């Protein structure tokens, strides 16, 4: 089956690739196994050196890589440059701190001596999404290369040029062949690969359906898996919030990456004292966003990743309206020859609406007015997802108390859910399990081996 690289701003095919045949995939796995036998014995210093070289090349070629991201999935080019910068920071972070994270943990048993040693487990399969084609790879690859594992990457089929560029990046940095291997295959074939006895673990960032498929195969074959799935982050605005700052961050939280972000702010929940003011200002900001070519520095809202995605979210809006929701702004596809969707605001979204519990993966904000703080918390938790969320208040201790009651993997106070190298990333409920980034992210695919030294004594 062909794999198409299509520019979502124009819906024009840029390049066409062919999927790898089974024989080539089998050879890639075998090579990764062979490379692991050597890589697991390299020093932390050697592994860190490679990560720093990758980071340096990312920075040197930032503009070229950013334009490639924009070309294939429509991210604003300025944001694409930010993604490359963040990816470099992640590689440097694990190069700088990986050895300390993986040092032996000394235990103090009642008798004898003991320690826990962190050892690599082998070849890993990473199934990566299109919306952050470099960053998503960085947060999976950097810690696991530092651990001593090798990896096979099945990247999203709509960003094949990015996928190929990342593999070339590793080779240019001096990585041995087989340490990082890109597989041009379908999602179905990737799920089937989990059963291969040579693959020891799998990580996926993607949809609930894809996550369920991968988790089923991993469980069936007793393999560790890490899943980062969808999100429907609540953005709570309390009556003591700085409204102008909250509105500014609300726009960033919803429109970043053209709204195609798992941790985007999607449900805006304001207490009644300030709800009308917040809503009016938010809608005004949305209405005045500059829509256009994502390569243009003036553009504030670009296309979605492809026409199918734009059609899907437009259909979600139609179904929401049919279920009783009201369109306050936007609501339609834009006739600009690409995958454009109007910035949209929905109100009157009730639990009996057929899309109430769905994730809107695009520039659609759903607004709710609630009576008080407790109602805001209850509404935030009324979701099958549990990735992130945010609380806006000038009382930081209050914000912490509210955050403690929100059932998600991450909660930010006075900022939309965000990411950086030294903060753990992950969710709960339908948003998946496991953690990436920070110190926590390096321990997902390691063997925490106990080594016990017993006292010399008579066994009888």
Q: Is there a single domain that holds both residue 442 and residue 367?
A: no
Mean pLDDT of each 10-residue bin along the chain, 460 residues long: 95 97 98 98 98 98 98 98 98 98 96 96 98 98 98 97 98 98 95 96 95 96 97 98 98 98 98 98 98 97 98 98 98 93 98 98 98 98 98 98 98 98 98 98 98 75
Which token pair is 347?
A: 């109100």
pLDDT of residue 401: 98
Task: For residue 157, give its domain range.
Answer: 2-229+431-451
299 and 345 both lie in a single domain: yes
Tell me: do 177 and 241 sit in the same domain. Answer: no
State whether 391 and 436 are in the same domain.
no
pLDDT of residue 460: 57
Are the beta carbons of 47 and 142 closer than 8 angstroms? no
Rg of the chain (C-alpha set) = 23
- For the stretch 148-177, what's the b/e string if a residue is b when 16 or more beta carbons lie within 10 angstroms of its beta carbon? bbbbbbbbbbbbbbbbbbbbebbeebebbe
Same domain, yes or no: 29 and 176 = yes
Residues 194 and 77 in one domain: yes
417 contacts 251 by C-beta, under 8 angstroms:
no
Residue 422 lies in a domain: no
Question: Per the domain annotation, does 425 fall within a domain?
Answer: no
211 and 336 together in one domain: no
DSSP 22-67: HHHHHHHHHHHHHHHHHHTTS-HHHHHHHHHHHHHHHHHTHHHHHH
Whether 224 and 239 map to the same domain: the answer is no
User: pLDDT at position 370, please?
Assistant: 98
The pLDDT value given to residue 456: 61
pLDDT given at position 459: 60
Q: Do residues 190 and 47 share a domain?
A: yes
Per the domain annotation, does 426 fall within a domain? no
* CATH number of the domain bearing residue 30: 3.40.605.10
Picking from 301, 311, 317, 308, the residue whose alpha carbon sits closest to that of residue 333 is 311
Domains contained in the chain, number: 2
Say if residue 237 is in the same domain as residue 385. Answer: yes
Q: Is the pTM of this model over 0.95?
A: yes
Specify whether 114 is located in the same domain as 167.
yes
Task: Identify whether residues 377 and 361 lie together within a single domain.
Answer: yes
pLDDT at res. 454:
87
Residue 457: predicted pLDDT: 63
Catalytic residue numbers, as ranges: 228, 262
């Amino acid at each position: 089956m062909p794999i198409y690289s299509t520019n979502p701003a124009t819906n024009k095919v840029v390049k066409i690739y062919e999927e790898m045949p089974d024989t080539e995939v089998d050879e890639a796995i075998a090579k990764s196994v062979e490379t692991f036998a050597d890589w697991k014995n390299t020093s932390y210093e050697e592994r860190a050196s490679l990560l720093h070289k990758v980071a340096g090349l990312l920075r040197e070629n930032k503009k070229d890589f950013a334009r490639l991201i924009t070309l294939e999935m429509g991210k604003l080019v300025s944001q694409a440059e930010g993604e490359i910068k963040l990816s470099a920071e992640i590689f440097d972070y694990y190069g700088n701190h990986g050895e300390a994270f993986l040092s032996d943990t000394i235990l103090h048993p009642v008798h004898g001596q003991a320690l826990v040693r962190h050892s690599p487990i082998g070849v890993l399969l990473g199934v990566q999404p299109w919306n952050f084609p470099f960053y998503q790879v960085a947060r999976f690859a950097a810690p696991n290369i530092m651990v001593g594992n090798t990896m096979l990457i099945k990247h999203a089929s709509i960003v094949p040029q990015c996928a190929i560029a990342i593999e070339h990046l590793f080779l240019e940095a001096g990585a041995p062949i087989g340490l990082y291997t890109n597989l041009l295959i379908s999602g179905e074939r990737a799920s089937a690969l989990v059963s291969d006895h040579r693959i020891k673990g799998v990580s996926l960032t993607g949809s609930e359906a894809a996550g369920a498929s991968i988790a089923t195969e991993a469980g069936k074959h007793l393999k560790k898996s890490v899943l980062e799935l969808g999100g429907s982050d609540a953005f709570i605005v309390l009556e003591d919030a700085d409204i102008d700052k909250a509105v500014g961050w609300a726009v960033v939280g919803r429109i970043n990456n053209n709204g195609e972000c798992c941790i985007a702010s999607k449900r805006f929940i304001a207490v009644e004292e300030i709800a009308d003011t917040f809503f009016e200002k938010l809608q005004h900001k949305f209405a005045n966003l500059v829509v256009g070519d994502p390569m243009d520095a003036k553009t504030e809202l670009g296309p979605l990743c492809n026409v199918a995605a734009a059609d899907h979210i437009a259909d979600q809006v139609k179904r929401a309206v049919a279920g009783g929701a009201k369109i306050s702004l936007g609501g339609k596809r834009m006739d600009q020859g690409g995958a454009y969707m109007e910035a949209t605001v929905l109100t009157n979204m009730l639990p009996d609406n057929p899309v109430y519990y769905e994730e809107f993966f695009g520039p659609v904000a759903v607004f709710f007015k609630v009576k008080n703080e407790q109602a805001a918390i209850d509404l935030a938790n009324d979701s099958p997802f549990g990735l992130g969320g945010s609380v806006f208040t000038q009382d930081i201790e209050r914000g912490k108390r509210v955050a403690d009651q929100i059932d998600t993997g991450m909660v930010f106070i006075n900022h939309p859910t965000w990411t950086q190298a030294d903060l753990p990333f992950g969710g709960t409920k339908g948003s998946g399990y496991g953690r990436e980034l920070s110190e926590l992210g390096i321990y997902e695919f390691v063997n925490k081996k106990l080594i016990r030294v017993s006292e010399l004594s008579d066994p009888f």
